Amino acid sequence: MAVGAVVARILTQYSDKGSKAAQKDIKKLGTNIDKFAKKSAKAFGIAALATAAFAVKIGKDAVEAAMADQKSQALLANSLRNTVGATDGAIAGVEKHITALQKQFSVVDDELRPAFGRLTAAFGSTTAAQEAMQIALDVSAFAGVDLATATEAIIKASKGQTKALGNLVPGVSAATLATKDFGKITDQVSKIVGGSAATRAGTLEGKMAGLKIAFGEAMETLGYALLPVLEKFATMLTTQILPKVEAFVALNKDKLAAGFAIAAEMAFKLLTTAISFSDWCANNMGIVKGMAALIVGMFAIGRIAAFILAIEGIIGVMKLLRTTAIGAAIANAFATSGVSIALGAAALATVGIGAFAVKGMLEPTLPKEGKKTVSPRGNSNNRDFFTNPLGPATDGLENFTNGLNNATKAAKKSVDQLINEAAAKKNLERQKMLSGSTSLAVGQGGKLYMPGGGRNVIVNVAGSVTTEGDLITAIANGLQRKGRRSLGNTNLLVE
Amino acid sequence: MADEVIVLSGIKETLDALKEFDKDAVKRFKKVINTELAGAERDAKNIIKDEPPMRGWRKADAAKGRTRGGAGWPGWDAGEIKSKITKTKVQGKVRGDYTTSAGSLLNKSAAGSIFEVAGRNTKTSAGRTSSAQFLRNLFISGGKASRVVWRVVDKDRARIEENVNRALEQAKADLQKHLEGERGR
């Protein structure tokens, strides 16, 4: 559309671009509404929790208020019974009167009841107490003191102690007070303070106090509704649940204790094992990784047969060693350091090869060009099988197999050497066994053998020797004589 | 300006679908729109006279611009004004009522735009200012705004809309016929 041109639209058509935008807007609006709803729900949830918490508090306060009110009522009823012998009906009437006073003058019943109880006790009747209560309420409002103080002053005045009442109501003349006539005094007091309680109840303070009292009454009402429930619960708890729990514990205390002990022991063992195993794993992480890679490599490549052959080879060497060890000379040879070194060398070689294999598996290797090959199960159609991804594992296993074969060869060589060494050693021992006495070889084919540092014996044959036997006998006799003199016991071998 | 506006719906969808069955029907519909828009364009161009609407409106652009932000007052070149009165079927911006244009007239020249809208939002007054005198003279020669494309649109829009809407309904009917024929196979 041209910029700056005057555009006069002739034909108008509907466009869904706008509607899409509108749908987007509506969706966004919906999302926002959802969010708002969630937030609202959350807020309402919080509000509900707060309400629940508040309800719990209200319930608690209500129950406490009801309990206090119940206690107050009970005390007053008891007082009335004791002082004036009030009946239940009279007590109910007093309660009704107190409730009316409470509403009328915005004074809580918890203050009214004690005051009424004291006035009843002082004047001996509920009727007189009601009249005195009215005066006390007015005095309290006039003097700005609590109802208990005003009540106490009136009671004292009824007994002739007018000072307190005179202080609270200064307008009462001293002459009137001096008469100690309770009737006159109360008349004058009533003239002065009459209507004060009602006036106070009509002020904002009084109305607020009335509101507070009304709320308190509502709480008490609620509390009275809750009290039976709590009482029932408490009763059930004390009479049914706790005894059964106690009985169960009493019956099963030993088992419970043993069970706890076993559980604790097992938990400790499990914890110890877990810690030691984790320590071992942490300390041998290389082995763990290597073995895992080795196992993976074994199952992933087609060289398991070579590995098994290598294992069979070393097993064969071990069998040979065991068989060879049956011979006495070889058994002795096994105890020598030579054999230990040979076996240790083989073992070290094996361990070294294993370490090399693991090391080779763990060290990064140069990337090899991956190629597709036949899968381990022989499926040539499995074109997803690559040898390259398992390169480290295959190399490691190959190294391990080769090393195992080399170790087997080394072990075989060691066995051959071992046998030769053992035979030579046996000869040496035999010679050592013979080296304890003088040896003498006589005769043309014999050789002079000089063990133990050698000793030359010269045999002098005197006279003529006619036969060979005579000669030998003569030599032997001469040697024995010579030996007896200078060589000790001599074994003479004559061939 | 007509109070009621016919909103055409499904023009693109109908033509796209109809193209598969009956290209001639598509051509017929487009011809209706083009004809109506061309007629409106022609009517708008006919409003432009060769002579300026007032004596002091020069035919050439101001040599030294002092007005219109320094651009100077545009000369009354009837040929240029007419050439820049064009028709378009560009959809343009979608309005808040989810409608856009299917055919419009444009008055793109500076002189033509001034002649189109001058005094549209200003009442002619008896003042002695140059602008008030300009509007009085313009009102005498060209009448009250709007004077070119909007005048044509106000005059002919209902007829054009009706014709195009009828053509569109015909195209839809043709499409429906083809679709039913396809279904019957």
Closest-CA residue of chain A to B158 = A10
Instruction: Identify which of A336-345, A364-373, A421-430 has the greatest average pLDDT.
Output: A421-430
Among B163, B92, B148, residue whose Cα is nearest residue B115: B148
Q: How far is B78 from chain A (nearest CA, A)?
A: 16
Cβ pairs A/B, distance under 8 A: 110
Specify whether A313 is located in the same domain as A327: yes
Domain final residue, candidates A178, A210, A225? A225
Tens digits of residue pLDDT in A205-221: 777 777 777 777 777 77
Among B114, B101, B119, B122, residue whose Cα is nearest residue B148: B114
Residue A339 predicted with pLDDT over 50: no
Q: How far is B185 from chain A (nearest CA, A)?
A: 33
| Mean pLDDT, residues A34-53 | 57
Tens digits of residue pLDDT in A230-244: 677 667 767 777 777
* A26 close to B (CB below 8 A): no
pLDDT of residue A312: 55
Q: What is the domain range of residue A447?
A: 437-495
Identity of residue A262: I
**CA dist., res. A153 & res. A170, Å (int):** 13
Kindly state the tokens that stand for B104: 């419009």
Tens digits of residue pLDDT in A96-127: 888 888 888 888 888 888 888 888 888 888 88
The answer to whether residue A467 sits within a structural domain is yes
Tens digits of residue pLDDT in A417-437: 666 776 777 777 766 665 544
The answer to whether residue A31 sits within a structural domain is no
Contact yes or no for A13 and B9 at CB 8 A: yes
Identity of residue A408: T
A7, A13, A19: residue with CB nearest B11? A13
Q: Report CA dihedral (B130, B133, B135, B140) to the nearest 10 degrees.
A: -150
Which residues in chain A are contacts of B121 at CB distance < 8 A?
A: none
pLDDT of residue A59: 61
- Whether A93 contacts A257, CB under 8 Å: no
Residue A295 predicted with pLDDT over 70: no
The answer to whether residue A386 sits within a structural domain is yes
Which residues in chain A are contacts of B7 at CB distance < 8 A?
A: 12-14
Closest-CA residue of chain B to A23 = B98
Closest-CA residue of chain B to A3 = B108
Q: How far is A28 from chain B (nearest CA, A)?
A: 17
Quote the ipTM score. 0.86
Kindly state the tokens that stand for A199: 């006036």
pLDDT band at A365 (very low <50, low <70, confident <90, very high): very low
Specify whether A414 is located in the same domain as A461: no
Handedness of CA A356, A359, A361, A363 (dihedral sign): negative
pLDDT of residue A58: 57
**CA dist., res. A79 & res. A123, Å (int):** 13
Specify whether A116 is located in the same domain as A136: yes
Task: Report the run of H or E that residue A329 belongs to, with start and end.
Answer: helix A328-334
**CA dist., res. B180 & res. B177, Å (int):** 5
The answer to whether residue A187 sits within a structural domain is yes
Residue A353 predicted with pLDDT over 50: no
Specify whether A73 is located in the same domain as A207: yes
* A9 close to B (CB below 8 A): yes
Residue A154 predicted with pLDDT over 80: yes
Specify whether A146 is located in the same domain as A188: yes
pLDDT of residue B143: 85
Specify whether A490 is located in the same domain as A418: no
The answer to whether residue A44 sits within a structural domain is no
* A13 close to B (CB below 8 A): yes
pLDDT of residue A444: 41
Ranges of residues in chain B whose predicted pLDDT is under 70: 1-3, 123-126, 183-185
List strand residue ranges (DSSP E) for chain B, in order.
Answer: 7-8, 85-88, 99-107
Q: How many CB atoms lie within 10 A of CB A287?
A: 14
Among A142, A146, A77, residue whose Cα is nearest residue A116: A77
Contact yes or no for B107 and A14 at CB 8 A: no
- Whether A184 contacts A90, CB under 8 Å: no
pLDDT band at A401 (very low <50, low <70, confident <90, very high): low
Tens digits of residue pLDDT in A5-43: 888 888 888 877 766 666 676 677 667 666 666 665 555
Q: How far is B82 from chain A (nearest CA, A)?
A: 13
pLDDT of residue B183: 64
Number of domains in chain A: 3
Residue A338 predicted with pLDDT over 50: no
Which residues in chain A are contacts of B98 at CB distance < 8 A?
A: 14-19, 22
pLDDT of residue B31: 93
Contact yes or no for B106 and A21 at CB 8 A: no
Mean pLDDT of chain A: 65
The answer to whether residue A350 sits within a structural domain is yes
- Whether B163 contacts B36, CB under 8 Å: yes
pLDDT of residue A131: 86
pLDDT of residue B107: 94
pLDDT of residue A467: 66
Specify whether A372 is located in the same domain as A316: yes
Domain final residue, candidates A193, A225, A257? A225
Specify whether A409 is located in the same domain as A447: no
Tens digits of residue pLDDT in A155-180: 888 888 888 888 888 888 888 888 88
- Please compute, for residue B97, the number of CA atoms within 13 A of its CA located in the half-sphere on the CB side: 8
Among A372, A364, A390, residue whose Cα is nearest residue A298: A390
| Mean pLDDT, residues A57-85 | 75
pLDDT of residue A445: 40
**CA dist., res. A55 & res. B161, Å (int):** 69
Contact yes or no for A10 and B104 at CB 8 A: yes
The answer to whether residue A296 sits within a structural domain is yes
* A204 close to B (CB below 8 A): no
Query: What is the C-alpha R_g of chain B?
Result: 21
Burial of A208 (0-12, 13-18, 19+ CB in 10 A): exposed
Closest-CA residue of chain B to A10 = B104
- Whether A193 contacts A141, CB under 8 Å: yes
Q: Model-level pTM? A: 0.35
Specify whether A422 is located in the same domain as A463: no
- Whether B41 contacts B83, CB under 8 Å: no
Contact yes or no for A5 and B164 at CB 8 A: no
- % chain A with pLDDT above 70: 40
pLDDT of residue A392: 45
Q: List, as one string, the DSSP characters of A281-309.
A: HHHTHHHHHHHHHHHHHHHHSS-HHHHHH
Query: Distances from the Cα of A124 to the Cαs of A34, A116, A240, A253, B55, in angstroms?
Result: 72, 11, 47, 62, 123
Specify whether A472 is located in the same domain as A491: yes
Which residues in chain B are contacts of A6 at CB distance < 8 A?
A: 106-108, 112-113, 116-117, 146, 148-150
B8, B36, B157: residue with CB nearest A13? B8
Specify whether A386 is located in the same domain as A483: no
Tens digits of residue pLDDT in A268-290: 665 565 566 556 656 666 655 55
* Residue B73 DSSP class: P
Specify whether A469 is located in the same domain as A495: yes
The answer to whether residue A425 sits within a structural domain is yes
In the block, residue with structure tokens 């195993």: A277
pLDDT of residue A389: 38
Kindly state the tokens that stand for A167: 């202080």
* A24 close to B (CB below 8 A): no
